[in-house]
Homo-oligomer: A and B are copies of this chain.
Amino acid sequence: MKVYKIGDNILKYRFGTPFPTDAVVKAGEGIEKYSIDYFQIEEKEELKLLYKMAPKDIVFGLGENQRGINKRGGKYISFCSDDPNHTPGKRSLYGAHNFIIIDGMENFGVFIDHPGKVVFDIGFNHKDYLEITIEDKNFDLYIIKGNSPREIVSSFLNIIGEGYVPPKWAFGYQQSRWSYPDAEKVEEIADKFIENNIPCDAIYLDIDYMEDYKNFTVSEERFPNFKEFVEKMKDKGFRLIPIIDAGVKIEDGYEIYEEGVEKGYFCVNSEGKPFVAAVWPGKVHFPDFLNRESRLWFGKKYGKLIDCGIEGFWNDMNEPAIFYTNRGIEQAIEEAKNAEGKNLNIDSFFGIKDEFRNISNNIEDYKSFYHNIEGKLVNHYDVHNLYGYNMTRAADEGFKKIAPNKRFLLISRSSYIGMHRHSGIWTGDNHSWWEHILLNIKMMPSLNMCGFLYSGADTGGFSDDANGELAVRWTQFSIFTPLFRNHSAKGTRHQEPFAFDEESNSIMKEAIKLRYGLIPYIYSEYMKAIINKDIYFAPISFEYNDEYSRRVEDQLLVGDSLMISPIYEENSRGRYIWLPEDMLLWKAKDYSERKYEILEKGHRYLDIDIDEIPIFIRKNKVLVLGKHANTVDDIDNEELVVIAFVEDKASYTYYDDDGRSLDYRDGIYSKIIIEIEKREDDYQINVENHGNKDIKRLKLEIVDREGKVTKKTINI
């Protein structure tokens, strides 16, 4: 074991010779240290880290996973998995996010930088024990000390590098479906938005836009004159977001396949031949994204669609998902044939059934192909969790070559720590279950802690059928998630914001309009979080450390000023809320109508009608509000409503930039600093404009502790 000092409060313990994951961007200096803080080590076939938790310790983190914001009680297995049946017993979803924070008797963060299987048993086997098991003994263990979870998260974000920023239009509403299969349908959907006057910035193209599911092709039959169509749609206000899958179809004459084989860009089997698996296109090869050359090659291919005017992509199936391999299906067919005509006993019957069920995403297949890392073959299984990350890195690196200073929308299904520098993620194939709204709520801060700020779930649920009320309540939460996308599966009920009864549709529309009104706040908070290595969604205990705040799992802090309390139960017309301090409540319906109410610190039941979205403004904090338009680009930025809950002094820094370039990285952005100080009968207001050229007026609505609203207009 070697020990490195990465920062004042961060040590890296190196076990064996870890595979370089590029998760962490900061190197450190070797120091002399022979023991590990906090943990006991148990070394048998696998390596185990053991920590005894105190009864009130909370464990945060693990990004995309089941269960609570507090991960105690569960067992979680980091092994990126395409398993759409997200039941509470599942231990692996699409991502591998090996970062946790222990908050209690001791305060520290732990990151296991290892691309293979890692098991976190957080009080499952024994309620008091945290047990981390690493199958392979080559890994880096980072331990981050800090005084608070927020400080620890910030330190962690600091060593894994600055997060991905999408174009500003990607904060608009996005509509998806597997699939809108042709140009006609896509246009019909777009027209419905226009007709109903519902804001929307993007429409997704799921797998059916391609020719036989071949990456970087477009079906001429279903999408003739694609470039023109992209332009036409953009003129209507909609960007199209095509999907790209990991597998490359094996088909003679298909350029990408042929090039890949010729140049050796694909993963190989034990005989050194391109590995064959079957996914949507039928038989495919998997690009060797862990190989730099392959990555460069694949990344450039995005240019084909970018040349057609495309500005955003979603990378899918990149765990990588495997439907079947010849090995798997032959084995299963063999078993089935052996059973023919026999009076099967039940074990044999279930054996065959399982054989067919387990053909997909089979570990044996993952163990049977290799990556070429600088001339050395590395078994895929050992580095499995890096695959989706590196596909997405390939795309981002490609974009940077194609249009170095342009922001693209990019989201990926599979991920590993560090991928947040390249893209956002959506949380995969969830269900139209009320339980999955709650899971979405709980997952957001955990994802943020692992760097994934641009994230969101399939609003309305992917599998199964949504009803109007579920779509409404989910939308009312998703207006706060940076990625705000409604997506659903083939064969399920349509769930666009015009697919239900009149009342539900109209409530969804109002919620989406509110989202656009909130973009000045959401974008400003998002960008400040990126720049300051902070998070956008936080558990309320990150700011309030009282006993009740530490227990809350269904309220979130959104940026610096807001707390939300989404509804995630059917037939509900209210819910219980813990207010850790006095807050200003705005029950938003039509967002242009604002009635304020001061709620006192404490527990309470709040009536929340089906069309209401409660927004809590924290004490001495400020919400800025713009006006909606049908696209983000069309938002009129002349006037900003500034809602402040002022006990003594509140200040807000409103961030903005061009929304399209990476210039913000060079400090090219504007700020308006607003300070409001309560005087005896009035407020002293200070506004400093650092470079903002759009905003002409601030319309202040200042609410004091007694609920008195003072309105002022300030010209800039």
Interface residues of A (CB under 8 A from B): 58, 67-68, 70, 72-75, 85, 87-89, 123-128, 278-283, 323-324, 329-330, 332-333, 336-337, 339-340, 343-346, 349-350, 352-353, 356-357, 359-360, 431-435, 463-465, 467-470, 500-501, 503-504, 548, 551, 553, 569-574, 576, 578, 603-605
Contact = CB atoms under 8 A, between A and B. Distances in A.
Given A72-B571, A89-B465, A603-B604, 20 more contacts: A70-B571, A72-B570, A73-B467, A73-B469, A73-B570, A85-B85, A87-B433, A126-B501, A127-B467, A127-B501, A278-B344, A278-B346, A281-B346, A283-B343, A324-B349, A333-B336, A353-B356, A356-B357, A435-B435, A551-B573
26 contacts: A70-B571, A72-B571, A73-B470, A73-B570, A74-B570, A85-B85, A87-B87, A87-B433, A88-B431, A89-B431, A89-B433, A123-B467, A127-B469, A127-B504, A280-B346, A283-B343, A337-B337, A352-B356, A353-B356, A353-B360, A357-B357, A551-B571, A551-B573, A551-B574, A578-B605, A603-B604
Contacts of A336: 332-333, 336-337, 356
Nearest to A434: B88
A285 to B, nearest CB: 14
Contacts of A573: 551
B570 A67 contact: yes
Nearest to A606: B603
Contacts of A332: 336
Nearest to A123: B467
Contacts of A283: 343
Top 9 A-B residue pairs of the complex, sorted by shortest distance between their CB atoms: A89-B464, A576-B576, A603-B605, A336-B336, A88-B433, A356-B356, A73-B570, A333-B336, A70-B571
Most buried by B among A67, A87, A330, A504: A87
Contacts of A432: 89
A623 B103 CA distance: 42
A433 B439 CA distance: 14
A340 to B, nearest CB: 5
Nearest to A70: B571
Contacts of A469: 73, 127
A53 to B, nearest CB: 11
Contacts of A58: 571
A429 to B, nearest CB: 13
A280 B604 CA distance: 53
Contacts of A572: 551
Contacts of A504: 127
A431 B576 contact: no
A436 B464 CA distance: 19
Nearest to A466: B124
A605 B548 contact: yes
A458 to B, nearest CB: 14
A360 B352 CA distance: 13
Contacts of A603: 576, 603-605
B70 A282 contact: no
A383 B58 CA distance: 53
Contacts of A578: 605
B333 A340 contact: yes
Contacts of A576: 576, 603, 605
Contacts of A323: 346, 349-350
Nearest to A88: B433
B503 A127 contact: yes
A222 B73 CA distance: 37
A58 B571 CA distance: 9
Nearest to A468: B127
A635 to B, nearest CB: 32
Most buried by B among A68, A279, A336, A339: A336
A339 B326 CA distance: 11
A577 to B, nearest CB: 9
A352 B629 CA distance: 49
Nearest to A86: B87
Contacts of A503: 127
Contact of A87 (B85, B278, B324): B85
A346 B470 CA distance: 32
Contacts of A360: 353
A360 B124 CA distance: 33
Nearest to A574: B551
Contacts of A123: 467
A683 B88 CA distance: 52
